[in-house]
Amino acid sequence: MMETRLGCCFLMIFFSEWICLFSLTSILGGTKAEVRCIPRCQLPRVAAAPRERTNLERADFDAAPGEEFDVFGEEPFSASGEEELAAAELTASEESSFEVQPRLAENETSGPQRHGDHRKLSHPPPSASSASGPFPNNASGERDTRLNLTGDGDAFALRARRSAETWSEFRGGGLEDTSVSDQEEFELTSSTFPLAGDTAHNQAMVHWSGQNSSVILMLTKYYDFNSGRVTESSLWRSTDYGTTYEKLNEKVGTRSILSYLYVSPNNKRKIMLLTDPEVESSLLISLDEGASYQKHSLGFDILSLLFHPEQEDWILAYSHDQKLYVSIEFGRRWQLVHNNVVPNRFYWSRLGLDKDQGMIHLEITVSDGRSQYITCKLQNCSDGNKGKPFPGFIIPNSLVVQDEYVFIQVSVSGQAVHYVSYKRNAFYPMKLPKYTLPKDLQIISTDENQVVAAIQDWNQNDSYNLYMSDYRGLFFTLMLEDVVSTGGPEDNVMIDLYEVAGIKGVFLSNKVVENQVKTYITYNKGRDWRLLQAPTTDLQGNKVYCEQPYCSLHLHLHVSENPYASGNIVSKDTAPGVIIASGVVGPELSSVNVSIFITTDAGNTWREVFQEEYSVFFLNQGGSLVAIRHTPLPIRHIWLSFDEGRNWDKYSFTSSPLYVDGVLGEPGEDILIMTIFGHFSHRSEWQLLKIDFRPIFGRRCTSEDYITWQLDNEGEVCIMGMKRIFQKLRANVRCVKARDQYISQMSDSCPCTEADFECDYGFERQVDGSCTSAFWFVPSTSTRDCVTGDSFFNTTGYRKALSNNCTEGSLLKYSPRQQKCPSQAPRGLQLFTSEGTFVATLGRNVTFLVFLEEGLGSMTSITVDFGDGTAISYVNISSIDDGVKHIYNKVGIYQVSATAINHLGFDRVFLYLHVSCQLEQVQLSAPLVVIKNKAVNFTTTLRPNSVGTVTYFWWLDNKTEPLVTLDGEISFTFSKEGSHTVTVQALAGNTVHQDQISVAVYDYFRSHPLVFSSNLDDMNPGVSEWREDIGRVVKTCIVQVTGISEDQLLVTVLAGLPTTAEVFIVPERRSRNGAMNEKWAHLDQLSQVLLRALNQDLIEFTVKPGLQVNVYATRLSPAPLVDSSDSGHSGTAVIMLVSVVLMGLAIFMIYKFKRKIPGMNTYTTEQPDKEQEVIPAVTSIAVPNPEGDELTSLDHVDVQLDSKSRGYLPSHTDIKLSDEAPHVF
């Protein structure tokens, strides 16, 4: 049972009514309506899939006749008659003719394409919207079918021309009914109703309830493709099966613009209309089948709806901002369930599988590239009430909840690993054949406790392989290779696989064989496949020469992406053995010269019934057939067959030819009333033409009206272990079938034969039909849960198909053998994190998952050692299905191990886990000025200082390619002068931080460390911008006091406390080419000027009013880059104290020996309030004297500072320099 999801596409199947979507556009003087049923928007889907019976089919409901719908044009043949309800929309262009295109479909359709359960487990994101917003959806435990509207006028015209050309190729040359125009003509009872006043409307949605109800609702609207919104709408209601209609615009409000129509799948009397959110956001709710309405305001815009499969008033609504809401009052009130819900990844619980009927399965986005699978209670989704069935993160858009199974994907070492949970138990990896490396995996079906999956392997591009599983969905074996696939809209994939309705185990599929597409059929659910036998004669009775394998019948099994290609096929539960499809006879499948073929014995023999494009419908629970020709010209006739398509009678349904746009059948199985949608001319209004077939069937059927038919496969009557006999109406009997007579079936079991067994997991079928072990498979002698002393069934390489009902015979070699559970040491132990990565965050839970492939699971203890001195043990592996959680308190790389032990041995596996914390900042430190061709060290500081493994990327010397290191320090030599930018990036986990500095490179320079008065430390916020501002202020003060050129000064304030700085004096640009002695002497003299100013407290600045900071020179090393003390003032005090001691010692030595030192002259300024000061030594970076190793000194420099005019120094341009080289300190 599957939910029907509303809101993605235009065509959707309701449970017992159709909602129809039509499109109107001009087509070369005629009309054409196209329908293509492709995967729905709820999930990426596989379009052609096995057919699953609906909930109504399984239940014995005595419902009234249902309805069917078809829209003409794109495919040469479509059929209806499914008991599910459908929806469609007719859209029209400005030329007022008709065309319909599909968008997404997922459920059984009324057309020839039957879609089953398709849930995609791959990455492409699902679409939940269209050009016009939310789409009417339905949920009834069924799959829904939806239609897409294309609004490209040019595309419409192109399709019209192509269609006209295609039809002209067929016999008849475009003349209406020329092939059988000489037949006797009968008349049908019909009535016509025009939708007056809606000529401009280009969309319509129709709801026909059925179930003994004569009510039909139709919503017509004008959709403006330029603005992308609905601008006009009308609501029509009929209470007499469509004979007349009443316009209800006054009842819903003349100003209300209606966008979509919804119907409760469990109570067809409950109708919901959605208004255009551009005008107002509200719902109109009717509880009396559309007779009256109540308006309720909405606080959000609905994108899609999901009705509960049993509770008629429970609805989930998904909004444009990824929020999920719930209503338990059929939309009157809404409550927020959860934020950040992944589109279309929410599911209702299923009674009998989930603990609570009001539980919701959700996939939510937790971070970029990661999602989480959670469960919530209906009206309480708080953190305390959330369940986490899978303990880790999953790949986005991978959650699928379908019947007994839940599917997810997990990223492990960069690879997607597919997991499955059976009956809501623990998750286990899906076991595919070892070297199957899926690029894409799609769930086709979950019928009968078996999963059918389509997998695109690593070496496939346009085809998929089909696999089927055991009952748990764990072990998969090959079903069919190289099945044709095509890409559909919204990144969906369509697989050429069709399950025949009414007969379990019969499938049709198109397979690529030596670059040719051929159609194959299976009667035992994929164990054996064969080609289709071509008809023996054509429609004219000419013999057909077609010999297999060179020639056979090939069918179109899905609606092609090409809007002009054939591809419709239909079968019906109420007509077992009858399949109608379009195809060709020849060496391969083609879209040229397509005919309509029918089989009445489930595919053994086929007959050609039309050589032109027709849509075929089932009437009277499959007892009769109706065919309507596809043509761009107006028509008056339809064709009926009462003998399974062997003969056709011609009936007129209108006196005036009608351009047919679509057909809507009464919901249910009876199908005795139809409505044809069309128009008489290009500019005319829509005409709703009702056809009543009841007068044709004069009485109720009796037992004498039936014959028996036995299913066989080329004469073999034991199929899937059973002999099956069905009842059919006799040919040309015109009676109304009763609902309890339409599918009478008798069966008898057959003894098991080799044909009833398929190859088990790890075994492959050979040419002679036997199953032998694959080269990569090592057969196990027990199962994981096998307990010593007990017994288990060990595989012989074969397994009986799950749906096979044969009785056990003497073929013991195919049946599993009962053996005693042997004692076995554990083997195949696996250990990984729930996130599938080797990285964890400090202080957060890490979940480790442990799996054991072989060994005595219940008697094998598991020990997990986390590598940080802690370990935990479990008595058996079943105790840790939910994973093992642990928190690390220190960063580092940890060796995590898991050990499985029993009395026969042990198995151990290791994992190396990188535990890190969030990197907040990286800071790069280096000298502001460096000397050319001398190595300089660059150092990084991290915050916090320990974050685990860090990778550093360095961009040096203005290069574009980085240097990668694991160390935060690097040494580099610059070979050119100038300014160089150095950038470093630190990568820790998924976090990257960057810092950047500029380095000036010179041949020579002078530098002096600076300290500040301690009051500046109180103002230091520790940010780089503040240090830059202080450095700029200091530089400005030095320039003003000393007169040194701004271009020759560089000041950098160092990080940390106490606040320190360094000043650099660099050469003038104009003096780069001068003599080296002059350069050194000039810099030396400037240093003396700077130091004198610093020693006399001439460099000072104001940080804020009342706070003045002094700058001092010091011979001590600059302050550390990072403050490691608690007090910032103690360091400054020590520096000042040591400076005073050193100054005193220097004064004494100079006073004692000054006359003995050549070239040394000391100048002091008398200050009444302080002792004499001397100029401390200059810190410099020296360049060897090319003349020799001896050093010379400066001549006297007569510079006198005026102590009374503090702050003034003569310009350095007036200083005279000697020819001697400077001192080197």
What does the pLDDT read at residue 940? 92
C-alpha atoms less than 13 angstroms from C-alpha of 820 in its C-beta half-sphere: 4
Report how far residue 462's alpha carbon sits from residue 460's, in angstroms, rounded to the nearest whole number.
Answer: 6
CB contact at 8 A, 893 and 838: no
What does the pLDDT read at residue 1146? 64
Report how far residue 584's alpha carbon sits from residue 909's, in angstroms, rounded to the nearest whole number.
Answer: 58
Phi/psi at 940 (nearest 5 deg)? -110, 150
Q: Please give the C-alpha separations between residue 500 and each of 115, 463, 525, 755, in angstroms, as whole numbers.
A: 11, 21, 11, 20
Which among 457, 40, 54 has a CA at the least distance from the CA of 265?
A: 54
| pLDDT (tens digit per residue) in 496-525 | 999 998 888 899 999 999 999 999 999 999
- Below-50 pLDDT ranges, the chain: 1-181, 560-567, 742, 1116-1132, 1154-1225
For 177-308, list the strands marked E by DSSP.
185-187, 189-194, 203-208, 216-224, 229-238, 246-247, 258-263, 271-275, 282-286, 294-297, 302-307
- The SS3 assignment for 1094 reads helix
- The SS3 assignment for 1140 reads helix
Report how far residue 433's alpha carbon sits from residue 775's, in angstroms, rounded to the nearest whole number.
Answer: 11
b/e per residue, 471-491, with b = 16+ CB within 10 A?
ebbbbbbbbbebbbbbebbbe
CA diameter of the chain: 144
Report how far residue 18's alpha carbon sits from residue 204's, in angstroms, rounded to the nearest whole number.
Answer: 12
Report how far residue 218's alpha carbon sits from residue 10's, in angstroms, rounded to the nearest whole number.
Answer: 14
Report how far residue 272's alpha carbon sits from residue 263's, in angstroms, rounded to the nearest whole number.
Answer: 6
Q: Which two tokens stand for residue 1082?
A: 């000039």
Region class of 812: left (phi > 0), else alpha (psi between -120 and 50), else beta = alpha
Q: Please give the C-alpha separations between residue 1150 and each of 967, 1035, 1088, 1147, 1175, in angstroms, as whole numbers.
A: 47, 31, 16, 5, 11
Which DSSP letter does residue 768 get?
T
Handedness of CA 493, 498, 501, 507 (dihedral sign): negative
What CA dihedral angle connects 316, 106, 214 and 615, to 10 degrees?
160
Report how far residue 1102's alpha carbon sits from residue 1099's, in angstroms, rounded to the nearest whole number.
Answer: 11
What does the pLDDT read at residue 476? 94
Q: Which residue matches tokens 């979509």?
A: 260
DSSP string, 65-85: P---EEE-SSSS------SS-
Sheet holding 649-652, edge to edge: 185-187, 649-652, 637-641, 624-629, 614-619
Report how far residue 945's alpha carbon sits from residue 257's, in angstroms, rounded to the nearest whole number.
Answer: 62
- The SS3 assignment for 149 reads coil
What does the pLDDT read at residue 62? 34
Report how far residue 456's alpha carbon sits from residue 453's, in angstroms, rounded to the nearest whole number.
Answer: 10
pTM of the full structure: 0.67
Burial of 985 (0-12, 13-18, 19+ CB in 10 A): middle
CB contact at 8 A, 891 and 1013: no
In degrees, rounded to 5, the angle at the alpha carbon of residue 458 between the alpha carbons of residues 113 and 513 is 55
Q: Which two tokens stand for residue 797?
A: 């390489």
Report how far residue 952's alpha carbon sits from residue 963's, in angstroms, rounded to the nearest whole number.
Answer: 8
Count CB atoms within 10 A of the CB of residue 298.
Answer: 18
Q: Please give the C-alpha separations between residue 683 and each of 28, 198, 830, in angstroms, as whole numbers.
A: 13, 11, 70
> Which amino acid, residue 499?
E
In degrees, rounded to 5, the angle at the alpha carbon of residue 591 between the alpha carbons of residues 587 and 595 is 85
Report how far residue 459's alpha carbon sits from residue 465's, in angstroms, rounded to the nearest whole number.
Answer: 11
CB contact at 8 A, 39 and 494: yes
Each as own residue / partner, the long-range contacts of residues 1149-1155 (CB below 8 Å, 24 or more positions apart, any chain) are: 1150/1174
What does the pLDDT read at residue 1174? 33
- The SS3 assignment for 555 reads strand
Q: Which two tokens stand for residue 1111?
A: 């700058």
